[in-house]
């Protein structure tokens, strides 16, 4: 018998359906790949059809056996898009369903530790959005913020921004994946901007797209950032350690003086 | 003078107050309101000296009728002076907040007219933010030494955190350097705040509808190196503040030689950053590692070792306690192992329920084995431990290890001990 390769649509739901099919067909695939990844030579292919109801059954099984925290670990690890993360997660799930109890504490078990580490990395990236995202008020009053996180974690931050900035309408946009979310004071909706009024690289709004007062607040913030540092204690290495350079292009205080 | 110029002066004047934490409060947003407070606090930026920026930290004014020797803003200094209007502070806070620059406001002030008058100004701003603007972000107010009990209690209704800075660790030295202040003017507001919090918690048990009172508690700051007070005196004070006054944080601020000509103060070239860092590490040992002051410094060792972190130096003074078996020792003992932090100790306790741990597992859980290996045993053949070496050799071995590290120990944030 040839070894078999699973192909799915790359979504988390799709992955859960792959898990469903692996159990019902009693397969042991050598790879589970999103369709955009070139397929392996010399394998039989099986294409997963995504189905919300099946995905939910698998999800319920995970949460029933491992608790919500296990679900979170699996989901965040999946978002890491690490190479072959699907196979890792599949092994983890087999282990979970075999033990019939949470295994997330068993950190000396290599697959469990690996999933835990991926979970931590991805969660940290999401937290960095909460830290380093900056809004600029646009001419029509909407607050706009660009960000290009390493992983596709914008959706994990929406609850935070929705409750914190409930009384202003905003757009948070992933400039690398070219989609974002728009909050219009009522609901949050997924959007794509085709002809952006912002710089594609830095996300900075063009001057004529900015609110007339925007410049003034940015100037104040830049002065504050400069003045609150203590020159005698200067330590740029420490600063960069906490605030890696790849985030600087979004930071109002790190942009050229306005 | 425009707002920009004022901000230049009044943020510069506030920068020596090192506390910038926005943690400990979880004020929810309200209907039509702005913001909320995140329990763990969020840093939004880092200054060039590597400190977290979480709050807009400014003085309301830097005019002051007092003349404290260690302060840039003292009456006798010839520095540019400014004062904000209420509206300026409120607008800046809200506009910075809406852009995700900050978690909220940290407002302090020089003393104008008298303590009560100054306190009223600070309360007024907090009130405007909370009531007129429904602002639910973080507010930290300075409780002005000498202000009345009524005003301190009122401030607690709007602030998430209140702080009174003790600044000088011993009474005699405070008297010498800050002739206008005295210990009781500092200690009294601390007590009122503590009583306020206690009463709130009592009431809260009866009804959930009573207004919040300083939900993130109180903190203070001690200046290090402006006076000859020893580390033991400093840490004893900190420990008693944690135990008896329920302080959430004590901050240590290495004295920045701001007033060079004052002969009551030592001549320092630079703030004593190393010592400050060792004090922060000791403070962590007190708060999270279940150490007592006497285990860190004592009569024979009143000063902290500058070369070694306090946990390592404790371990070297007490070699008989090691090596510790990571597969058996309780959590409390795991925390004593140099190189094992709170996070990894917790992971060890979880993971060893499933199987015995070896050194490879420990490394992957974030234990610094380079250091820890002399102080622990695990599911492996025994290797030389701290007991097998002469103390001087051990010390040499471990300082050599530490010197290689590129990035200096960070203060305030995570310290891996
Ligand atoms: S009261 Fe405060 S602002 Fe005034 S001199 Fe003393 S420390 Fe400085």
Q: Do B50 and A238 touch (CB under 8 A)?
A: yes
Nearest by CB to B351, from A105, A164, A233: name it: A105
Ligand 1, CB within 6 Å, residue ranges: B 64, 66-68, 71, 73-74, 110-111
User: Could you give the CA distance from residue B162 to residue B203 in angstroms, rounded to a whole number?
Assistant: 20
Matching residue, tokens 């005003």:
B151
Residue B29: list chain A partners with CB under 8 A. Answer: 163-164, 166
Output the six-digit token pair for A69.
Answer: 């925290």
pLDDT of B391 higher than 80? no
Q: What is the tens place of the pLDDT at every residue in A144-188?
A: 999 999 999 999 999 999 999 999 999 999 999 999 999 999 999
Give me the half-sphere count of Cα atoms (radius 13 Å) on the Cβ side of residue B232: 9
Matching residue, tokens 């929705």:
A162
The ligand 1 atom nearest the CA atom of B71: 8
Q: What is the tens place of the pLDDT at every residue in A2-21?
A: 799 999 999 999 999 999 99
Cα(B177) to ligand 1 centroid in Å equals 11
User: Could you give the CA distance from residue A228 to residue B50 in angstroms, rounded to a whole number?
Assistant: 11
User: Could you give the CA distance from residue A177 to residue A159 in angstroms, rounded to a whole number?
Assistant: 20
Q: What is this model's ipTM?
A: 0.92
Residue of chain A whose Cα is closest to the Cα of B346:
A105
% of chain B surpassing 70 pLDDT: 95
Whole-number pLDDT of residue B380: 77
Q: Do A131 and B42 touch (CB under 8 A)?
A: yes
Pair A62, A21: CB distance under 8 Å = no
SS3 A236: helix
Q: Name the pLDDT band for B410 (thresholds 50, 70, 90).
A: very low
pLDDT of B109 higher than 90? yes
Mean pLDDT of all residues belonging to chain B? 90
Q: Do A108 and B361 touch (CB under 8 A)?
A: yes
Whole-number pLDDT of residue B390: 77
Task: Report yes or no: B408 at the A interface, CB cutoff 8 Å.
Answer: yes
Q: What is the tens place of the pLDDT at every residue in B21-66?
A: 788 888 888 888 899 988 888 999 999 989 999 999 999 999 999 9
| Residue B43, C-beta contacts closer than 8 angstroms, at least 6 positions apart | A131, A242, B52, B53, B54
| Protein residue closest via CA to atom 1 of ligand 1 | B66
Residue B33: list chain A partners with CB under 8 A. Answer: 166-167
Task: Report yes or no: B343 at the A interface, CB cutoff 8 Å.
Answer: no
Pair A106, A98: CB distance under 8 Å = no
Whole-number pLDDT of residue B405: 47
CA distances from A256 to A249, A253, B5, B398 (A): 10, 8, 19, 44
Output the six-digit token pair for A133.
Answer: 């995202």
Residue B35: list chain A partners with CB under 8 A. Answer: 164-165
Spell out the domains of chain B, with CATH numbers in brackets.
Answer: 3-296 (3.20.20.70), 310-416 (no CATH)
Q: A41 — phi, psi (to 5°)?
A: -75, 160
Matching residue, tokens 């404290």:
B68
Interface of A with B in 64-103 (CB under 8 A): 103
pLDDT of B397 higher than 80? no
Q: Do B92 and A220 touch (CB under 8 A)?
A: yes
User: Could you give the CA distance from residue B215 to residue B102 in angstroms, rounded to a whole number?
Assistant: 19
Radius of gyration of chain A (CA): 22
The ligand 1 atom nearest the CA atom of B62: 3
The ligand 1 atom nearest the CA atom of B64: 4
Output the six-digit token pair for B30.
Answer: 């309200």
Task: Report yes or no: B182 at the A interface, CB cutoff 8 Å.
Answer: no
Output the six-digit token pair for B288.
Answer: 């999270």
Q: What is the tens place of the pLDDT at every residue in A83-117?
A: 999 999 999 999 999 999 999 999 999 999 999 99
Residue of chain B whose Cα is closest to the Cα of A135:
B99
Pair B142, B109: CB distance under 8 Å = yes
Size of interface A-B (CB pairs under 8 A): 160
Q: Do A223 and B410 touch (CB under 8 A)?
A: no
DSSP letter string, B321-353: G--EETTTS-HHHHTTSTT--HHHHHHHHHHTT
In chain A, where do the E strands start and end? 4-8, 31-34, 44-47, 136-137, 143-147, 170-174, 179-183, 188-191
Mean pLDDT, residues A43-61: 95
Whole-number pLDDT of residue A1: 59
Q: Examine residue B323 and say whether the peptide bond preceding it is cis (omega within 30 degrees of 0).
A: yes
Query: Which sequence spans correspond to the domains of chain A?
Result: 4-125, 133-254
Mean pLDDT, residues B241-254: 93
Whole-number pLDDT of residue B385: 79
Q: In what order do the strands lie in the sheet with B218-224?
A: B55-59, B104-108, B138-142, B161-163, B218-224, B249-254
A235-244, B155-164, B265-274, B332-341: least confident range: B265-274
User: Could you give the CA distance from residue B281 to residue B409 in angstroms, rounded to a whole number?
Assistant: 9
Q: Give B379 to chain A, closest Cα distance, Å.
A: 12
């Amino acid at each position: 018998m040839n070894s078999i390769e699973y192909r799915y649509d790359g979504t988390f739901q799709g992955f859960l359906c792959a898990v469903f099919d692996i159990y019902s067909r009693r397969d042991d695939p050598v790879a589970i790949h999103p369709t955009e990844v070139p397929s392996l030579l010399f394998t039989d292919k099986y294409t997963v059809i995504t189905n919300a109801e099946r995905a939910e059954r698998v999800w319920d099984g995970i949460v029933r056996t491992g608790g919500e925290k296990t679900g979170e670990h699996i989901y965040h690890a999946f978002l890491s898009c690490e190479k072959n993360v699907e196979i890792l997660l599949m092994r983890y799930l087999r282990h979970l369903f075999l033990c019939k109890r949470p295994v997330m504490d068993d950190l000396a078990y290599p697959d469990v530790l690996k999933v835990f580490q991926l979970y931590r990395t991805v969660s940290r990236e999401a937290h960095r959005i909460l830290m380093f995202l900056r809004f600029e008020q646009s001419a029509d009053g909407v607050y706009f913020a660009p960000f290009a996180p390493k992983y596709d974690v914008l959706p994990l931050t929406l609850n935070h921004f929705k409750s914190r900035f409930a009384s202003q309408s905003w757009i948070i946009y992933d400039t690398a994946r070219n989609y974002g979310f728009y909050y219009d004071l009522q609901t949050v909706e997924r959007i794509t901007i085709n002809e952006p009024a912002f710089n594609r690289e830095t996300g900075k709004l063009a001057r004529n797209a900015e609110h007339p007062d925007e410049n003034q607040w940015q100037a104040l913030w830049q002065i504050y950032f400069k003045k609150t540092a203590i020159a005698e204690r200067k330590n740029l290495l420490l600063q960069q350690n906490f605030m890696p350079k790849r985030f600087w292009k979004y930071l109002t205080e790190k942009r050229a003086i306005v | 003078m425009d707002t920009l110029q004022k901000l230049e002066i009044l943020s510069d004047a506030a920068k020596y107050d090192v506390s910038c934490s926005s943690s400990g409060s979880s004020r929810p947003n309200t209907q039509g309101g702005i913001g909320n407070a995140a329990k763990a606090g969020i840093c939004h930026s880092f200054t060039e000296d590597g400190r977290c920026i979480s709050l807009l930290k400014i003085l309301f004014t830097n005019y002051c009728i007092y003349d404290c020797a260690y302060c840039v803003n003292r009456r006798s200094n010839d520095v540019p002076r400014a004062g904000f209007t209420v509206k300026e502070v409120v607008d800046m806070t809200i506009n910075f907040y809406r852009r995700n620059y900050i978690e909220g406001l940290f407002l302090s002030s020089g003393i104008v007219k008298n303590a009560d008058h100054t306190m009223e100004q600070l309360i007024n701003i907090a009130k405007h933010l909370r009531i007129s603007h429904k602002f639910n972000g973080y507010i930290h107010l300075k409780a002005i030494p000498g202000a009345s009990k009524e005003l301190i209690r009122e401030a607690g209704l709007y602030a998430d955190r209140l702080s009174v800075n003790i600044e000088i660790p011993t009474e005699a030295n405070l008297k010498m350097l800050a002739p206008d202040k005295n210990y009781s003017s500092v200690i009294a507001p601390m007590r009122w705040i503590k009583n306020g919090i206690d009463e709130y918690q009592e009431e809260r048990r009866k009804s959930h509808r009573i207004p919040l009172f300083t939900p993130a508690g109180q903190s203070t700051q001690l200046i290090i190196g402006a006076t000859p007070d020893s580390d033991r005196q400093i840490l004893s004070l900190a420990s008693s503040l944690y135990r008896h006054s329920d302080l959430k944080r004590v901050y240590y601020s290495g004295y920045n030689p701001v007033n060079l000509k004052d002969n009551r103060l030592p001549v320092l070239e630079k703030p004593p950053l190393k010592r400050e860092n060792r004090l922060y590490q000791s403070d962590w040992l007190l708060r999270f590692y279940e150490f007592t002051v006497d285990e860190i410094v004592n009569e024979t060792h009143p000063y902290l070792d500058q070369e070694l972190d306090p946990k390592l130096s404790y371990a070297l003074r007490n070699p008989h306690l090691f090596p510790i078996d990571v597969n058996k020792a309780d959590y409390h003992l795991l925390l004593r192992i140099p190189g094992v932090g709170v996070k990894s100790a917790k992971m060890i306790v979880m993971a060893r329920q499933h199987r015995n741990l070896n050194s490879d597992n420990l490394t992957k859980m974030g234990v610094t084995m380079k250091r820890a290996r002399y102080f622990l045993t695990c599911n492996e053949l025994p290797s030389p431990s701290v007991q097998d070496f002469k103390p001087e050799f051990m010390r040499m071995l471990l300082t050599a290890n530490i010197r290689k590290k590129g990035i200096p120990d960070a203060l305030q944030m995570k310290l891996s001990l």
